[in-house]
Amino acid sequence: MPTASLPPADLAALRAIGWPYAGAVEDPQWRQAMEKHPAARPARVIEQHRSGYAVADAPEASVRAESLPEWQRPRFPAHERPAVGDWVLMEEARIVALLPRHTGIKRGAAGEHYHQQVIAANIDTVFIVSGLDADYNPRRIERYLLLVGSGGAQPVVVLTKADRTDLVDEAVDALADTAREVPVLAVNARDAGSAAVLSPWLRPGHTIVLVGSSGAGKSTLINTLLGDERMRTGAVRDSDDRGRHTTTYRALLTLPSGACIIDTPGMRELKPTGEEDLAEGGFDDIEALAAQCRFRNCAHQREPGCAVREAIERGDLDEERFANYLKLRGEVSAAADKLAVRTAQMVDARVQSKASHKRTDGKPRRR
């Protein structure tokens, strides 16, 4: 198969599921991988299960895929395994290579030991979905914006259940500082006419992932965009408006508009990975204020000449948002320390493994 371009029929089918090139493959790393596996064909990961993957090289053409043996090893880094949205190279029903990601969204996985979890890969837009009920929480939306900001995709805040409240305008206004340059849209997820406001991001070949809490309306919104009750939905509890995990795995679907959309299970824990940039994650204004403080090590408490405290006192900076910034900054810093330790351990393990192979090198050891 030529590496510079694909046959027109194959290219058209791949473009329908988000292939990023209209002609020749421009990414040199992708070309190199395709040259290494000339008999392989590109495919996209459309489902991720504990037991394996489903991939497709055209709409509605999924097959179960056999993954590389090293991906099954317990110590293999989870974020280096394929995720929904990834592009892979296939020979028969076997994945032979994972193509480098252009964009993505990931989080620090739950638990004491540091590792990263990729939520979705090669995405253009992230719909951060929050219900206009007890699910609505500007501080949690800030946390999502931080995670999305470092991944290269465009965030859009989608407030669902707009038909259940008279406080839509107030909720949107309350996110003016939180979302800043990010679009904030309120919709009735069950109504196609209301959801049509999302159409600018639902272009052919465009890939969108929905993230948010259980019960926020992600699956309901996808069903409306599909025009089909394909995704299972469930009622939320009256006591706290929380939903059950009706979506149990990540899946990529093709919409009638030609866009690709990824549904994800609700996430209760949103831990930074340590790679986030607070300025790119929506706190650029606070970072700019901190740079104006008289002292470089200003803690923004009672120090003289603190530009941050002055902005809070003038009413230019919300104190709750600043407190959340400090909390997230601490979490990012702590995660970065764990990442550095984890990286050093992995480098040491690889050096020792190479040294071990070099010592043996097919020769019997001396006794």
Q: Model confidence at 364, in pLDDT bands (50, 70, 90)?
A: low
What residues does CATH 3.40.50.300 cover in the chain? 120-263
Q: Report whether pLDDT(349) > 90.
A: no
Q: Name the fold adopted by 120-263.
A: Rossmann fold (3.40.50)
The angle, 0 to 180 degrees and rounded to 10, between the axes of the packed helices 138-149 and 319-360 is 40
What pLDDT is recorded for position 114?
Answer: 84
CATH number belonging to the domain at 279-354, selected among 1.10.274.10, 1.10.40.50, 1.10.3720.10, 3.90.480.20 = 1.10.40.50
Per-residue tokens: 192: 């196609």
For residue range 271-328, list pLDDT tens digits in order: 999 999 999 999 999 999 999 999 999 989 889 999 999 999 999 999 999 999 999 9
What pLDDT was estimated at residue 90? Answer: 94
Q: CB-based burial of residue 256 (10 Å sphere; 0-12 exposed, 13-18 middle, 19+ buried)? A: exposed
How confident is the model over 86-101, as a mean pLDDT?
94
Residue 193 burial (C-beta neighbours within 10 Å; 0-12, 13-18, 19+) = exposed
What's the token pair of residue 267? 């996430």
User: Does the pLDDT of residue 235 top 60, yes or no?
Assistant: no
What average pLDDT does range 166-175 have in this prediction?
Answer: 92
* Cβ(184)–Cβ(92) below 8 Å: no
Whole-number percent of the chain with pLDDT over 90: 66
Instruction: State which CATH number among 3.40.50.11540, 2.30.30.140, 3.40.50.150, 2.160.20.10 fits the domain covering 8-100.
Output: 2.30.30.140
Q: Give every CB contact of residue 157 below 8 A, 6+ residues apart in sequence.
A: 128, 130, 141, 145, 175, 179, 182, 183, 184, 185
pLDDT for 248 equals 58
The rounded mean pLDDT for the chain is 87
> Which residue is listed with tokens 């198969």?
1
Confidence of residue 5 (pLDDT cuts 50, 70, 90): low
Range(s) within the chain of domains with CATH label 2.30.30.140: 8-100
Helix pair angle (307-314, 319-360), 10° resolution: 140
Kindly compute the dihedral angle of the four CA atoms of residues 102, 108, 110, 111, in this order, to the nearest 10 degrees: 130
| pLDDT for 234 beyond 70 | no
Task: Answer whether residue 347 shows pLDDT above 90.
Answer: no
| pTM for this model (two decimals) | 0.87
CB 322 within 8 A of CB 286: yes
For residue 232, pLDDT beyond 60: no
Name the more confident of 71 and 105: 105
Residue 3 is predicted with a pLDDT of 45
Residue 49, pLDDT score:
80
Q: Where in the chain is the domain with CATH 1.10.40.50?
A: 279-354
Flag whether pLDDT at 237 surpasses 70: no
Query: pLDDT for 179-188, tens place per residue?
Result: 888 999 999 9
